[in-house]
Chains A and B, each alone.
Chain A
Amino acid sequence: MAKSLKANSIRSATRRWFWLFLGPVVAAFIIGFVWPFIQGIYLSFCNFRITADAEFVGIDNYGRALSDPAFQYSFWYTALTAIVSLVIINVLAFTVAYLLTKKIRGANLFRTVFFMPNLIGGIVLGYIWSMIFDGILSAYNTSILLDTTLGFWGLIIVMCWQQIGYMMIIYIAGLQAVPADMLEAAEIDGATSMQTLFKVTIPNVMPSITICVFLSLTNGFKLFDQNLALTGGQPYIIQPDGSTINTTQMLALTIYNTFYTSSTASRGTAQAMAVIFFVLVAGLGLAQLAYTRKREVQQ
């Protein structure tokens, strides 16, 4: 579509207001993102305790980060948590959304209730659930802090409680957009409800499924607050050489802990871990964007 002359004149009139329209955001964006990002990349190649005394050391930090058993462990632990939570959250969220879009009584009330936990912050959420788990598990003389398996499932439960409602909303939007005539056609053709679900409904909500899968995957990878508040990485495995593997500690918390220990050498390593983490999460995010783009083009 060719732009009209008029639009061009508006454009040049607007252009002069750069400082007003873009100025504040660009300034804040540089302070809040661009500069810390660049500095973060730089510091990942440095030895430093505070930013002022950084000393360039090349890629040593990356070597240390990648060979750190705690980092490796937390990578696999994070991946496992993210994938397990992804499956459970999406299956349940889809089921709930599917049932709520049937004409059942109280659908609105149910939707309101399921979404509610999403508004509670991660730290608070962690403490609510640690009270509940303590209350239950103390009857069995154990605690979420004592057992890696309990810690794992505890976190999964917390994530489910928080995120199912959110994903449900997206699925409901997707399900409501399924063309009614297609569903009717399926019914007239005598399709069973299972057939309709798998042959008509699910293909039509694929976009929602994609979004939710990516969202829950990145949410899982980036999880921090809940992890900190629920188990804080406990229990530890004490390795023969005296180092520890914090068996319920996810990547974000590992990076945080590596940053804020008192050992001088570990800050650069922590920043290198953060860069690796960034590449990982950004990779997932960009894959999603690319996928969404492709779909938009196809439509």
Chain B
Amino acid sequence: MPERIKTLASKHRGLVVVSVIMAIVCVIWVLPVAAVILNAFKWNTFVKTDTFALWNAENFAGWSNFITGVTFGNYNFWLAAWYSTFITIVSTFLILLFCSMAAWYITRVDSIWCKIIYYLCIFSMVVPFQMVMFTLSSTADQLKLNTPWTIPIVYLGFGAGLAIFMFVGFVKSIPVEIEEAASIDGCGPVRTFFFVVLPMLRSTLISVGILEIMWVWNDYLLPVLVLDINQYRTIPIHIQYLKGSYGTVDLGATMALILMAIIPVIVFYLACQKYIIAGVAAGAVKG
């Protein structure tokens, strides 16, 4: 059947064309990141005038932007990086642990209070941060939640909605018979949860965990309003401060910092790509 072979051939040619177009678009897609790398190694004055020029003897700054970058702006970058890391990890851990526990309790006990809490959680998901930003920051300050060590509690509170919603969705699909069997074997609720239910939640834990990590790590407005920013800054706050203040902005050093801020993200992404993409798909479908 020559007709059919011809269509197949043209279809194949079509796919090659699509591949090539996609490859070009992909290159365009990574150009902004390439521009950051390019300019992170250029002297300040060239960033503005020769943004897209390649490195040459005149504009290449070596590591000097990075050296300036970690100290300029009256704040140590590593400190900000450490606070960002700590806050992200602890907040995510708290959210995963307590929200999965709460979701299981809500689903299994299913009392009127549980329903109220559950609907409040759903409600909180649609409330924009601006609604509570001012009052949250003053409440957090009164309760001394304005340090990196305590701000995870704020994240737990503000992030509980989505996490509980997603966990409840999954717990509902776990047959209660497994837990009944555990209970016959003499497991109390606590052991049942930690040894029977939690392992089954693995994939949801990963999905929720990734969404929370992405949220907390990149969040700007909540920490800037809640944290005592004079002592504690996260990476996004630090970068915003660099651009907004303190004499003449060193664009080269700013780009060096931006590069240092996005490298961990990109490494994390490449390492956990599979889970991230699956998590996003799951999160979106639920939320």
**A and B found bound together:** yes
- Identify which of A9, A14, A161 contacts B109 (C-beta below 8 A): A14
- Least CB distance from A253 to B in Å reads 9
- Least CB distance from A50 to B in Å reads 8
Contact status of A105 and B266, CB under 8 A, knowing A31-B157, A169-B280, A252-B128: no
Report chain B residues within 8 Å CB of A26.
102, 117
Contact B35 A32 (CB under 8 A): no
Give the contact stretch, choosing among B56-64, B67-75, B158-166: B158-166
Contact A17 B189 (CB under 8 A): yes
CA distance A135 to B34 in the complex (A): 14
With most chain B CB atoms within 10 A of its CB, the pick from A31, A132, A138, A255 is A31
Q: Mark out the residues of chain B between 252 and 270 whose CB falls within 8 Å of any chain A CB in the assembled complex.
A: 254-255, 258, 261-262, 265-266, 268-270
Contact A22 B218 (CB under 8 A): no
CA distance A138 to B135 in the complex (A): 42
CA distance A21 to B190 in the complex (A): 9
Give the contact stretch, choosing among A36-44, A79-87, A233-241: A36-44
- Least CB distance from B191 to A in Å reads 11
- Least CB distance from A277 to B in Å reads 6
CA distance A37 to B189 in the complex (A): 33
CA distance A256 to B225 in the complex (A): 11
CA distance A284 to B26 in the complex (A): 33
* A117 touches B (CB below 8 Å): yes
User: Digit string of A205-227 for contact with B (CB within 8 Å is 1, else 0)?
Assistant: 00000011001000001101100
Select from chain A the residue with minimum beta-carbon distance to B190: A17
Contact A170 B285 (CB under 8 A): yes
- Identify which of A18, A275, A289 contacts B131 (C-beta below 8 A): A275
Contact status of A22 and B131, CB under 8 A, knowing A6-B180, A30-B157, A124-B261: no
Report chain B residues within 8 Å CB of A123.
218, 220, 236, 239-240
Report chain B residues within 8 Å CB of A113.
26, 29-30
Interface size class of A (residues with CB under 8 A): 35 or more
Report chain A residues within 8 Å CB of B83.
none
* A194 touches B (CB below 8 Å): no
Report chain A residues within 8 Å CB of B156.
24-25, 28-29, 32
Select from chain A the residue with minimum beta-carbon distance to B23: A106
Contact status of A277 and B236, CB under 8 A, knowing A7-B176, A22-B117, A113-B29: no
User: Interface SS of chain B: helix, strand, loop or mixed?
Assistant: helix
* A116 touches B (CB below 8 Å): yes
Report chain A residues within 8 Å CB of B101.
20-22, 24-25
Contact B134 A170 (CB under 8 A): no
Contact status of A102 and B15, CB under 8 A, knowing A20-B101, A278-B131: yes
* A11 touches B (CB below 8 Å): yes
Select from chain B the residue with minimum beta-carbon distance to A15: B109
CA distance A172 to B161 in the complex (A): 26
* B227 touches A (CB below 8 Å): no
* A2 touches B (CB below 8 Å): no
Q: Provide a sorted-by-A list of 12 A–B residue pairs whose CB atoms are within 8 angstroms.
A: A10-B108, A14-B109, A21-B102, A31-B140, A31-B157, A39-B139, A105-B16, A109-B26, A131-B47, A169-B277, A169-B284, A255-B130
Residues of B whose CB lies within 8 Å of any CB of A are: 15-16, 18-19, 22-23, 25-26, 29-30, 32-33, 35-36, 39, 47-49, 51-52, 94, 98-99, 101-102, 104-106, 108-111, 114, 117, 120-136, 138-140, 143, 145, 153-158, 160-161, 164, 176, 179-180, 183-184, 188-190, 192-193, 214, 217-221, 235-236, 239-240, 243, 251, 254-255, 258, 261-262, 265-266, 268-270, 273, 276-277, 280-281, 284-285
